[in-house]
Chain A
Amino acid sequence: MKLTEDLAKSLLRRHGLPVPDGAVAQTAEEAGAIAREYGGAAVVKALIAAGRRGKQGLVAVVDDEQSAARETSRMLGTRAFGNPITKIYVERRATIARELYLSFAFTDQNLRMVICCEGGVDIETTYARNPEKIVVADIDPLRGLKAWDAVGYWADAGLKGQALAAVGRMTASLYDAFVACDAVMMEINPLTLDDDNKPLLVGSMMEIDDSALFRQPWIEAEAVSETSANPREAAVILANRSYPGGESRYTELDGNIGLLVAGGGAGLLQHDMIVELGGKPANHTDVSPAPGTEKLEAILDAIFTNPRSRSLLIGYNYLQMARCDQVAKALRISVDRNRVDPTRFPIVMRVFGPEEKKAREIAASIPGVNYLAPDATLEDGCRMIVELTRQAAE
């Protein structure tokens, strides 16, 4: 979960890290009042969880309360990344003598810090121009990042004197906060120094691990929950929250073949195969086995109510734990609920494993469902659905 700037900064502040004063405004008047508190010198930013706002005109540096209000009016109501801007972050303007760059992220097996004495520009740009100025350091997750490690790395990056000591110590505290908050990504750009070499975290982007929200309760309460503008995708996200079991995903695409595929690997394989055969999926799903049929029903409902869907492939890996009859039961319920006629809306099932006999009985009670023979491969299911979808379109 990406945090908006106000949340990221309040989180860092709680961990005792130096961030500029700032507050959220929802109207021009509020923005003006906040800027006045800071003596007029402020930065006004659209509050969305995305980087590179400056390039889209969503960041303005202002000198007085009137300009803060004016810039706020200009940004409110415009759209960014498909969503209307409804909140503005007004921040006290920092005295900047120098700009640095710092980020923490994961590699496949480790944690990694990237630092550079040139901040304020994209790290990609610096990398393209002066790769030698960037210091990359892997961090042992058991040992963590000690202040003396950080001082050493910043010295390698070219920092000296008082600035080196201050930034090095602060970097170790920042790493501790990164771990304590279960962040998966943190980018501080710029990390600024004032004339007295005091560091300040001016640009702060943070993403929190969704799998760790259970131990970061305040983040869940404050952050905006994930949702989708697409009502069917939103319904599946809601079903994930409402019912037990692993997370299932449903993403709509521009084709016409509905996919209910599991697990993750078989989903990739079947999607590849359908595309190779000239078919176009209407959606991609990834289903985790869950108790009950409600979550599966939610996904099937989404597929059946997607106006682009013309057919459905239920392609499962050879099930080793989950029960086949649960899948058939969910199909029966959703077909009835959405009045689907499988003689016109082709449905192919490739679901083998425990309780397969019961599943076949239930499927047989839905006229028109094609339940593949026990030796059919995942690829056979793909071939059949592409062919039936083509025929149905004729």
Chain B
Amino acid sequence: MSILIDENTRVVVQGITGNQGLFDTKLALAYGVKIVAGVTPGRGGEEVYGVPVFDTMLQAVRNTGANAAVTYVPASRSRNAVFEAIEAGCGIVLATAENMPKHDAVQAVAMSRRADAWLIGFNTNGVISPGKCKLGGIGGNDPDAIYMPGRLGIVSRSGGMSAELAWVLKRSGMGVSTAVSMGGDRTTGRMMHEYLELFENDPETDAMIIYGEPGTDNESKVARAIAEGLIKKPVIAYIAGTFQERYPAGVSFGHVAAMIVNKDDTASAKRSALASAGANVVTTLAAIPDAVRNVL
């Protein structure tokens, strides 16, 4: 098993005829992903790399049984794309757009929660269950170079760091059940602890590695979930951004969300909250393989 996506996932690509949609679809098909449909209004009846294109999500889902959507539409139309995917019945929606209008983002999150759907993103490069399925550009043109199948779960606030974590594991002979780039914005479809709770219930995941940053309640909620016993499997945590505490508050150095809002949001505060809850906090990537060996 794995979380969210596996070999049975049937994927529909929203915006399949755009540049990014075309590019990622080609790579995903090469990886063996079951992309069963694409959607671009006005382009229904065409094909992209053998994948049928529909005018609406509802047509795509009815005709192909797609159950997961990847949206490559621009930020200005992403909220509606998410609404459409959810109304069409997709239980998993991955939204890649960067620079989402914030009102749109919270509306999309509220909509997906109301429908019991799982929105991943915004500002994500994807999710991958190595050897089975991937949504989004994660892994690039050679996912096998970075993501090896295995029994560790990854949840990362950064797509690039998800790759660095998987790569450092692979070089120590360890693989990944599912790696999630959950999105780097302040507002994300689901919060970090919700992914960890999925891993908690996945019999093929033994331990989880998280990458966190300053800003947002994501990591403090993970600490609470561990302390409350909702997450019992080992959690190894890498939280970057302690250097920010040397500079005036309010200066943003990375992702939009990585802005220190108050003293509980700093990297140091998150590290200590996670450590006291029982997570294994590491301060270098190189320390991660040993940390995994120690907890398993």
Contact = CB atoms under 8 A, between A and B. Distances in A.
Given A106-B186, A253-B247, A354-B140, A317 B103 contact: no
How many interface residues does chain A have, given as a range?
35 or more
Interface of B: 23, 75-76, 98-104, 106-107, 109-111, 114, 125, 137-141, 146, 156-161, 163-164, 167-168, 171, 184, 186-188, 191, 211, 213-214, 216-218, 240-244, 246-247, 251-255, 258, 267, 283-286
Given A142-B110, A265-B184, A266-B160, 4 more contacts: A263-B255, A268-B267, A273-B284, A377-B286
Interface in A336-394: 353-354, 375, 377-379
Contacts of A246: 98-99
A179 B167 CA distance: 42
A109 B191 contact: yes
Contact of A265 (B146, B213, B286): B213
Given A320-B140, A378-B285, A268 B102 contact: no
Interface in A98-119: 106, 108-111
B110 A140 contact: yes
B240 A265 contact: yes
Most buried by B among A266, A268, A354: A268
Nearest to A267: B254
A141 B79 CA distance: 12
A263 B246 contact: no
Interface stretch (A25-33, A161-169, A206-214): A206-214
A219 B83 CA distance: 28
Contacts of A375: 171
A108 B191 contact: yes
A262 B267 CA distance: 19
Which 7 pairs show the lowest CB-CB distances between chains A and B?
A265-B158, A317-B160, A320-B140, A264-B254, A265-B161, A268-B240, A212-B101
A212 B105 CA distance: 11
A245 to B, nearest CB: 10
Contacts of A284: 253
A332 to B, nearest CB: 24
B101 A211 contact: yes
B109 A109 contact: yes
B295 to A, nearest CB: 21
Most buried by B among A179, A215, A264: A264
10 contacts: A215-B76, A263-B158, A263-B255, A264-B158, A264-B160, A266-B158, A267-B253, A318-B146, A320-B137, A320-B159
Most buried by B among A109, A253, A320, A379: A320
Contacts, number: 163
B139 A320 contact: yes
Contacts of B139: 320
B103 A288 contact: no
A318 B218 contact: no
A266 B286 CA distance: 14
B125 A211 contact: no
Interface of A: 106, 108-111, 140-142, 179, 182, 184, 209-212, 214-215, 246-247, 249, 251, 253, 262-269, 271-276, 284, 286, 288, 316-321, 353-354, 375, 377-379
A71 B194 CA distance: 56
Given A265-B156, A379-B286, A320 B163 contact: yes
A111 B186 CA distance: 13
A286 B171 CA distance: 27
Contacts of B187: 106, 108-109
Contacts of A251: 251, 253
A392 B179 CA distance: 41
B119 to A, nearest CB: 11
A326 to B, nearest CB: 14
B216 A108 contact: yes
A161 B132 CA distance: 63
A320 B125 contact: yes
A236 to B, nearest CB: 14
B106 A111 contact: yes
A142 B246 contact: no
A265 B109 CA distance: 23
A108 B106 CA distance: 9
B7 to A, nearest CB: 22
Nearest to B189: A109
A93 B10 CA distance: 64
A142 B253 contact: no
Nearest to A266: B160
A294 B75 CA distance: 23
